[in-house]
Amino acid sequence: MRDTNFLIENNAKHVWHPMANPGEMRENPPHIIEYGEGVEIIDIHGHRLLDGVGGLWNVNLGYSCEPVKAAIIAQLQKLPYYNAFRGTTNSPLIELSYELCQFFKPEGMARTFLTSGGSDSVETCLRLARQYHRANGQPERTKFFSLKKGYHGTHFGGASVNGNANFRRNYEPMLGGVHHLPAPFTYRNQFETEDGAVIAKKIAAIFEEEIAFQGADTIAALIMEPVLGSGGVIVPHETFFPLMREICDRHGILLIADEVITGFGRTGSESGSRLWGIKPDMMSTAKGISNGYFPLGAAMISEKLVDAFESTKGALGTISHGYTYSGHPIGAAAALATIAEVKRLDIAGNAATLGVELLSGLQALKAKYEIVGDARGKGLMAALELVSDREKKTPADKAVVQALYDAAYEAGVMVRTSGSNVIISPCLAIGTEHVNRILSALDTGLAAATSALNTR
């Protein structure tokens, strides 16, 4: 292996990183992660960290999941790749599709369309939504609704329904016919209340009003994350999803649940849709599907859509969409082993139990540190929002958030920062001792952030 200096130098020289400013990264170079073991990672200098990020909300079973590694190796020996376009298929793909439909049976899922990741899965759902309406004799239903602060990946469709201007501005114009509703966010919203049930009703009313204005017969689908992840772990009130489901049903609008983060246990339920007790029409999944060991995603399609496609002959019913890696046998083998482990270890149950411990610890930190404006989470996805003025909810600046990150890193816990949010999304196979390590490092980090704020 090349020496450390070579790697640092050439990362700066040759690598452009996702979601990063290349020039600024030169001044603040990334940590080079060399090993993963259990639920920990080790950087190139040998510094060991508990991974509070879980890879990127995806390494749910940790870094030493032998059944998944073995499945990948075995499939690599047998059939490393073959395409699944029309004329051919492969056995891991078939088996995985069967398992996924079983796993998401309570959500009403009946078909799978495999992809290479979350953005692909979102794009697939958006396209299939439009095509469904065409095949169903309603070709004018083309518009999409989504939530402000929602995140749906980086393809043009997904970025168009994205609810954060930062992900859109440099790439406009986006897809036409996309409308954003307010986020169901208790801490920051336009409604001057922190009552989640009231907020849910107000957003539902805005949706109704907008449907009446646009015309229901022009709207294809509403896409939402069951818990908004990248937007800062925004947990809607329990009435929100059922309310929106009912409105969609009444107006013939499809509901796409973007479960890229929430699928496979993260919220403490097998899916975010199950958590809220609703059945979406489609689900975009990825991340935890293969434990992050292979780039994979799946668009899940409910029974409701099946007939429009399967009984429509010719171009109108043909899915003229797909990826070289749709149905990759190694990805499918990895996912099959992952899902078996998720079930065997009751990963969702563990996330539910430890999520309660994590959230109560975060709330204690909020009580201890004035700099914490909000502590929120569901299962093992959580966030602390840092503020420089609690009363005014002024977001803390970059240097303050960075001070927390650096101190937590030093204390042996990797966390992720996004704006003024500190996001916690550890592997789901953790125990109480790991939650305590995360909380203790955050305690250290918050002390550092507080002194950074006070010495400005």
Does residue number 148 form part of the binding site for ligand PMP (CB under 6 A)? Answer: no
Stretch in the footprint of ligand PMP (CB under 6 A) among 188-196, 223-231, 319-327, 347-355: 223-231
The correct pick among 141, 152, 266, 274 for binding ligand PMP (CB under 6 A) is 152
Query: What are the CA-CA distances from residue 10 to residues 3, 30, 184, 207 (Å)?
Result: 11, 12, 43, 49
Q: Nearest approach, Cβ of 431 to ligand PMP (angstroms)? A: 25
Stretch in the footprint of ligand PMP (CB under 6 A) among 180-188, 256-264, 325-333, 446-454: 256-264
Stretch in the footprint of ligand PMP (CB under 6 A) among 73-81, 114-122, 312-320, 333-341: 114-122
The correct pick among 225, 270, 341, 443 for binding ligand PMP (CB under 6 A) is 225
Residue 110 to residue 102: CA distance in whole angstroms: 8
Neighbours of 397 (CB within 10 A): 15
The correct pick among 52, 229, 232, 268 for binding ligand PMP (CB under 6 A) is 229
Q: Would you say 158 or 329 has its CB closer to ligand PMP?
A: 158
Q: Would you say 161 or 211 has its CB closer to ligand PMP?
A: 161
Q: Nearest approach, Cβ of 260 to ligand PMP (angstroms)? A: 4
Maximum distance among all Cα pairs of the chain, rounded to whole angstroms: 69
Q: Would you say 54 or 361 has its CB closer to ligand PMP?
A: 54
Does residue number 327 form part of the binding site for ligand PMP (CB under 6 A)? Answer: no
**Taking the mean position of all CA atoms in its chain, how far away is CA 66?**
24
Residue 345 structure tokens: 């270890």
Using Cβ positions, the residue closest to ligand PMP within the complex turns out to be: 118
Does residue number 151 form part of the binding site for ligand PMP (CB under 6 A)? Answer: yes
Does residue number 326 form part of the binding site for ligand PMP (CB under 6 A)? Answer: no
Does residue number 276 form part of the binding site for ligand PMP (CB under 6 A)? Answer: no
Residue 455 to residue 309: CA distance in whole angstroms: 63
Does residue number 117 form part of the binding site for ligand PMP (CB under 6 A)? Answer: yes
Stretch in the footprint of ligand PMP (CB under 6 A) among 91-99, 141-149, 213-221, 253-261: 253-261
Residue 192 to residue 187: CA distance in whole angstroms: 10
- Going by the DSSP 8-state scheme, the letter that residue 184 receives in this structure is -
Give the angle subtended at the CA of 346 by the CAs of 108 and 422, to the nearest 5°. 90
Does residue number 108 form part of the binding site for ligand PMP (CB under 6 A)? Answer: no
Does residue number 230 form part of the binding site for ligand PMP (CB under 6 A)? Answer: yes
Q: Nearest approach, Cβ of 153 to ligand PMP (angstroms)? A: 3
Neighbours of 390 (CB within 10 A): 14
**Phi, then psi, of 259 in degrees rounded to 5:** -105, 25
Nearest Cα to 359, choosing from 247, 235, 205, 451? 235
Does residue number 123 form part of the binding site for ligand PMP (CB under 6 A)? Answer: no
Residue 142 structure tokens: 């083309």
Q: Nearest approach, Cβ of 275 to ligand PMP (angstroms)? A: 15
Residue 309 to residue 165: CA distance in whole angstroms: 35
Query: What are the CA-CA distances from residue 387 to residues 68, 191, 384 (Å)?
Result: 41, 20, 10
* Contact positions vs ligand PMP (CB under 6 A): 117-119, 122, 151-153, 225, 229-230, 258, 260-261, 286
